[in-house]
Structure 1
Amino acid sequence: MKLKEICSYLDSAIPLSIQENYDNSGLQTGDPETEIDSALLSLDATVEVIEEAAGSGCGLVITHHPVIFHPLKSLTGRTKAEQIIAMAIRHNIAVYSSHTSLDARSGGVSIKLAEKAGLENIRVLKPLENSLVKLITFVPSDHAGKVREAIFKAGAGVIGNYDMCSYNVEGYGTFRGNEMTNPFAGRKGEMHMEPETRIETIMPSYISGKVVAALIEAHPYEE
């Protein structure tokens, strides 16, 4: 799997958009086109962690804390961050970090710590501002109800005191699958026109990974 595919998946599950302004989560170093066969997980990316990854043949290190918090002006090894990044580059090891985005995510670090502590009635004390994002999907009309139910259950479609909010438009979608496909409707190699429903709704960005996962699970299409 290419590094860019892993980064895309991580961003969908743990959105970078919800990290704090001071944070620098995301890809720290690495060529997005690189093929990754294995990864090492760590709280921090240290010199020892990079050495372990190199010795284990891991092309990617995924950490909680970012190596780079502030812009680097050189890679001379003057600071720990410079040493770590230089070593990662030398061994062709990519580093990806999910810090405050993982803290804030629904089901993330903060929630898990609260659950481990035995807390009850857990709720967000300070909701993220301007965190709403729009979700748009197209689904065969006879499966629209199932998909709506799934994304609403995952937390999408809440506006104030109302939930299950969405906008729906009927239409027709067209597609043609190649020989590698197994289409839900129609036949591979032939263009197919399917009655579809366009579903639009909103959700807080910090639950987007959960909602998209629910959407994919309920949606009948391959892609």
Structure 2
Amino acid sequence: MIVKEVTGILEELAPLGLAEDFDNVGLLVGDDHQKVTGILVTLDTLENVVEEAIAQNCNLIVSFHPIIFNGLKKLTGKTYVERVVIKAIQNHIAIYSMHTALDNVMQGVNAEICRVLDIMEPKILIPQKNTIKKLTTYVPLEAADDLKNALFEAGAGTIGNYSNCSFSAEGTGSYKANENAHPTKGRIGQTHFEKEMQLNITFKSHVEKKVMSALFKHHPYEEVAYEVLTLENTDQDIGMGMIGHLEKPMKEVDFLLKVKERMHAHGIRHSALREKPIEKVAVLGGSGAFAIKAAKASGADIFITADVKYHQFFEAEGTMVIADIGHYETEQFTKNLLVDYLTKKIPNFAIRLSGSKTNPIKYL
């Protein structure tokens, strides 16, 4: 396999179009046509991880965090980022990052936290906006089914657990071709009337390129009349964080101790306990303080995240417990998720779980 084929499989799980605007995801270093000798999966790409890849004959590193985030103006080896990039290039190692693309999918980072903590029936905490679009086009009746099937094949028409969703209405279209046109039907210089179908179909924004390609390829007209609108509707399967419930309510201290054990946390910083049972749990891997308001609004008894600042703990306001268990700790199982996924997709390929320790925070 080549790098592009492997990353294509990863994008089936976490399309890059779902990543946040501030992020830097995708192939950051390397040639996407390079033949892959092995894949090393890691949370962070540090120098010791690149050395591990070299030792294990892996020339593709799949990393959760992007090693290049704010851009590089120099490659002199003076920073750890520059040294990683130089070492990777010198050894023909490609680096691919997923980050918030994987944060924003149902089977991503937060789903793994829920799995580890036995949180049941998790749902997206903050659905991502502007992820649903609607295509309206007009097609001759006899060509309508072929066009619909092509659009479905491209990924349009999926709503929740349903596929091949569309709405059609018959009517009469008109047009007059000028001398430079090559009309499929009708004659140049004459107004033509055609029985047409108005086709309405929704699609997720990250498949727009495929949907539009299918539209132009399979529509019979020389000039395709169409509209694409971004909808206010939210996709409940795309977004940040998750919220679910425990099978049975637990005492606050007992649940926090469970979290500490299961997530291998060295300590938990938390707001004041409420002396009430924990049943509804919200989670957000990584720096999640921005979601405190959403967690409160969802009725969570506790919100598990990382990188909470001093004053942000006050925002709990006695309505829930805010628990900061550490950035690395919330995301550490992501690489296991990716190894399992890739192993199922390409079982006869060398896929390694990095054994390098990349947590930059140490505890006494």
TM interval, shorter chain, is 0.5 to 0.7
Higher relative contact order (CA 8 A, sep 6+): 1
- Give the C-alpha shift of residue 132 in structure 1: 2.0
- Give the C-alpha shift of residue 134 in structure 1: 7.1
Q: 2:34 — aligned with what?
A: 34
- Give the C-alpha shift of residue 156 in structure 1: 2.2
Structure 1 vs Structure 2 CA RMSD: 3.3
Matched residue pairs, number?
164
Q: What pairs with 1:1-223 in structure 2 (closer than 5 Å)?
A: 1-132=1-132, 156-158=158-160, 165-167=165-167, 201-203=202-204, 205=206
Letter in 2 for 1:129: K
Alpha carbons 2:59, 2:94 under 8 Å: kept: yes
**Structure 1 residues 9 and 50: alpha-carbon distance in aligned structure 2, compared to 1, 3 A threshold:** same
Alpha carbons 1:157, 1:203 under 8 Å: kept: no
Alpha carbons 2:17, 2:205 under 8 Å: kept: no
Structure 1, unpaired ranges of 5+: 169-197, 209-223
Query: SS state of the match for residue 165, structure 1?
Result: coil
Residues 114-144 of structure 1, C-alpha deviation per residue, up to 9 Å, x if partnerless? 2322223422221111112579xxxx99xx8
Query: SS state of the match for residue 7, structure 2?
Result: helix
Letter in 2 for 1:202: F
* Percent of paired sites with the same residue: 34
Runs ≥4 in structure 1, deviation > 6 angstroms? none
CA distance in 1, matches of 2:166, 2:93: 43
Output the TM-score relative to the length of structure 1. 0.63
CA distance in 1, matches of 2:98, 2:133: 20
Letter in 2 for 1:4: K
Letter in 1 for 2:203: I
Alpha carbons 2:77, 2:83 under 8 Å: kept: yes
**Structure 1 residues 164 and 32: alpha-carbon distance in aligned structure 2, compared to 1, 3 A threshold:** closer
Structure 2, unpaired ranges of 5+: 136-144, 169-198, 207-234, 239-364
- Give the C-alpha shift of residue 163 in structure 1: 8.6
CA distance in 1, matches of 2:159, 2:111: 22
**Structure 1 residues 24 and 97: alpha-carbon distance in aligned structure 2, compared to 1, 3 A threshold:** same
Comparing 116-125 and 23-32, the one that deviates more: 116-125
Q: 1:212 — aligned with what?
A: none
